[in-house]
Structure formats: C-alpha cells, structure tokens
Amino acid sequence: MTISTPMTMSSTHTRIERRGFLGLMAGAGLLAMMPFSAHAQNVEAARAHIQRAVDEVYRVINAGEPAERMFARFEDILSRYADVDVMARSALGPAARQTPPAEFAAYRQAFQGYIGRKYGRRFREFIGSRVEVTGARPLKSFVAVTSVAHLRGRAPMEVEWHVSDRSGQIRFFNIIIEGVNLLSSERAEIAALLARQRGSVAGLAAELRQAG
Amino acid sequence: MKISLPAARLGPIFLALALAGCASAPQMQDGILINDPHEGTNRRIHAFNKGVDATLIAPVANRLRGSGEARPRDPSDPIGPMQMVVNAGRNLSLPGKAVNGLLQGRPGDAGRNLARFAVNSTVGLAGLFDPAGDNFGLTERDTDFGATLAAWGVPEGAYLELPLIGPSTARDATGRVVDLVFDPVNNVLSGRDRRAAFGLRVASKAGERARFGDSVDGVLQGSADSYAQVRLIWLMNRRHELGEDRDDFDPYDDVIDPYED
C-alpha cells in the first residue's frame, strides 16, 4: 500500500497539518484495505478448499469401486468438506427450531447419507471427465468458487460452490449446477417429505435413510 | 418468408401473454420467485406427462442404457443411429437459432450457428455427423424466441406445464409458437419435405429426452412432490440460461440462523 497524495501537496501546509493529514490518509487506507485483504485471504482459502474437495471426488470416481462403496466415500468427503449441519438445518426450514437436539442429530445424519447417495449417483456420470476450478469471488457474507465440469460428449457445465467460515471452519454449504441450487431444491423436497410424514422429523429421518 | 399471415395469427397469443403476466401475485418460495397462478391445471398436465414418461420414455431410456448409448462416449468412437437422428434434428434447428441470435443482437452467436449449419449439412452428410463440433470447435449456441423475448425485456409471465413438452412459461410458450411458425427451414420447405423435417426434429427431441432420461426419471419418479421439484429446477436453470437469476440466498442470513441460538 502506498500513499503518495501528501507528497504532492503544497509546502505552505504546516507540519502539524501535514502529519494530521498523513495520519488521516493512513487510517482511511487501512480501513479500506483491511476488509479487502481479509476477503482476499478468504477467497484464496475457499478456492483451495474446493480444489481439494474436487480432487478427492475425482480420486473416488476414477477408482471405479462398486456404487455402494462409492456413495460411502462421497458421504465421507461431504462430512469433511461441507457444513452438513447448516445444510440440513436450512433444508428443514423453520421446523428445525422446534426439533429436539437428539431428533435433529438423527435427521442430520440421515440427511448426510441421503445427499451422499443422491449426488454421488450424479457424480458417477462424470467418469472420464474433469472439473476445473476457474475462479473465486466474495458474494454477500461468503465466497463463491466457480468451476467448469468438462463432460465427454456434452456441453461443459458451470458448477458454483458457496463457501463460508461461519461454522468456525472453511466449509462449502451449497452447490449450484447450471443455476440449479442444491439447497433450494432440497428445501422443497424435504418440505414435501415432511408434509408426507405429517410433520414428524423422526419419520422424515427414517424416510431419508431409504431415499436418494 | 410470409410474415403478414402468421403475424395476424399471433395476435391472440401476445394478448394471452400480457394477461398471464398479471394474473396473480408471484411469491418467494424456496429461495426463488414463483409465479404459478394456474397450478391446478399445471398439476393435472404434470400427472399426464409423468405417466407418459413412465410408460413411453423410461422403457426406451432403459433399453438405451443397456445398449450403452446413454453412457458418455469417446469422441473418436463411432456414433449410433440414435445419435445420428439427434444430430440431424438439431442441425435443422440451427437457421432458426441464427435468426434469433440476430434478433437478440448477438451476431457472433448467429454466425457461429450458421457456420455450424453449413459445415454439418455438407461435410456432416445432412447433419447426421457433427464435424463442426468435433473438428472445428464450432459448438452450438442454443437459443430460441423465448430468449429473444427475454432480451427484448418481455417479462417471464406465469409458469406453465405444457402437455408432452413439459415445463415452460407464458413467455417461452409464446416463443415456441413463434419459432414454429417463422422457422426458416419450415418456410423454405413444403409438402412432404416439410413434414419429414418436422418429424425428424420431433424424433430428435424424443431421442435427447431418452438419452438424458436417467436424470429426468430421477427427479420425476424419485421426488416426494415431483411437480414442485420440476418447477423449481426448471425455473432456476432457465433463468440462469437467460441471465435472469437473482442473488443466491444465504442460509446463514436466512430466517433460521443456526449460529444465532
């Protein structure tokens, strides 16, 4: 950071004035720079986080294991790279507030397996393709990491990852594939399942264990 | 092209579009704006489409999966008859897409689609093969008159589920009719050729649907409320395509903030 403005100022200013001005400039500069550098650091860390997650997903896809083993591995990756807690809470909506902790924990666990299977099935179609992390930018209170999935014999797909450190650790909490938002669609799906279970979160958890 | 006659026929559709746009207040649902005043009718059509998918599309998709055509293919492998039909049908849609590109003020996209049409219609043997994409990197710029209307600032209008065709909006449904009536290939051909070209394009659409049937079936037959799920996914994807997606919602700033309690 360089502050050149005071140097070009007229010499008729007194020393006090100049020092005051310098201080003001430096202060304003710092204020402007601080959130920026904090963001720049977050953006870089978020990007690296997604790069590691993508690398792990690819190792699993290309290992060519049977579907059940593969889904278990995807679930494991999800538990280490995603904020499953906030995803499960957001998908459940307002009902999450009234759910006792033990019941919520059971639902959260079922949700993790369900997402691992459901999206693992989609990822299996990516065999022989590659995902390239193309950029990252701050968005609202989080960081959006952009990537492109190059699929064989199909047009490339845009995949965006939303990453936050508000859980205390850097974790992704949403994936947007060609504009289709995972949390939005899961929120609709979970609401429909919950309605079918007449509002019972325990029933929902039991159904999620079979679904996906 | 005879413009005057079809244009007169389109009057009522534009009127319907304008009316549909203000039929009811759209509301935020699952993070996106949903404008679905005809939900009752739409749900009945959805049930019909779902039945068609289960009895007609899914068996074809399953057979394709068995024959290996649904799997991602290596560009150097020979293509099957299914892919040839899909290619040829898509090729016939390129002149119309080029016209829409021009109407949207995107001459680059229009030129690309036209160059693709020229290469694939000749070297690609009437569009059966895709040398433009495989050898020259001239991939298709998919567009339609619905996208042109969006570029002109026409509002999206009500969500519609159309019989056999599936999810749409008042704006996109209008676009489909305009694309059909004004299509350059349709207007150049006549009689049997015209019917054959139309049949090929319908077959091409069906083929693509069958090829990606796996994902479609997953949503249609595997969701608790497949109508709401299809509506949500289709609207998010279409708005993304048209550059109309809004800011993504932040679950951390949502009504429920898990770190607040």
At B56, the pLDDT band (50, 70, 90 cuts) reads: confident
ipTM of the complex: 0.77
The chain A residue lying nearest B253, using CA atoms, is A141
> Across chain B, what does the average pLDDT equal?
81
Q: Please list the residues that pair with B168 across neighbouring strands.
A: B160
Whether the CB of A198 is below 8 Å from some CB of chain B: the reply is no
Q: Over 80: is that where the pLDDT of B15 sits?
A: no
Q: Is B236–A180 a contact, with Cβ atoms under 8 angstroms apart?
A: yes
Do A183 and B73 make contact, defined as CB atoms within 8 angstroms?
A: no
**Interface membership of B228 toward A (CB under 8 Å):** yes
Closest residue by Cα to residue A193 from A178, A212, A177, A175: A212
Q: What is the pLDDT of residue B64?
A: 66
Average pLDDT of the segment spanning A122-148: 85
pLDDT in tens, A11-21: 444 455 555 66
A137 touches chain B (CB under 8 A): no
Pairing of strands A180-181, B27-29: unpaired
- Checking if the pLDDT of A2 tops 50, the result is no
Asked if A183 reaches chain B (Cβ–Cβ under 8 Å), the answer is yes
Bridge partners of residue B119, in order along the sequence: none
Lowest model confidence (mean pLDDT) among A81-90, B6-15, B149-158, B160-169: B6-15
pTM equals 0.80
Residue of B59 and B224 predicted with greater confidence: B224
Residue B78 carries which DSSP code?
Answer: P
User: What is the residue type of A188?
Assistant: A
- Longest CA span, chain B: 70
**Contact by Cβ (8 Å): B79, B134:** no
Query: For residue A82, with 0-12 CB atoms within 10 Å meaning exposed, 13-18 middle and 19 or more buried, which class applies?
Result: buried
Residue B54, pLDDT > 90, answer no
Give the alpha-carbon dihedral of B189, B194, B197, B202, to 10 degrees.
140
Using the Cβ of B78 and the Cβ atoms of chain A, whether some distance falls under 8 Å is answered with no
For residue B132, the chain A residues in CB contact (below 8 A) are none
Q: What pLDDT was estimated at residue A3?
A: 42
pLDDT tens-place string over residues B182-213: 999 988 888 898 999 999 998 888 877 776 66
Asked if the model's pLDDT at residue A182 lies above 80, the reply is yes
Contact B247 A140 (CB under 8 A): yes
* pLDDT of amino acid B257: 39
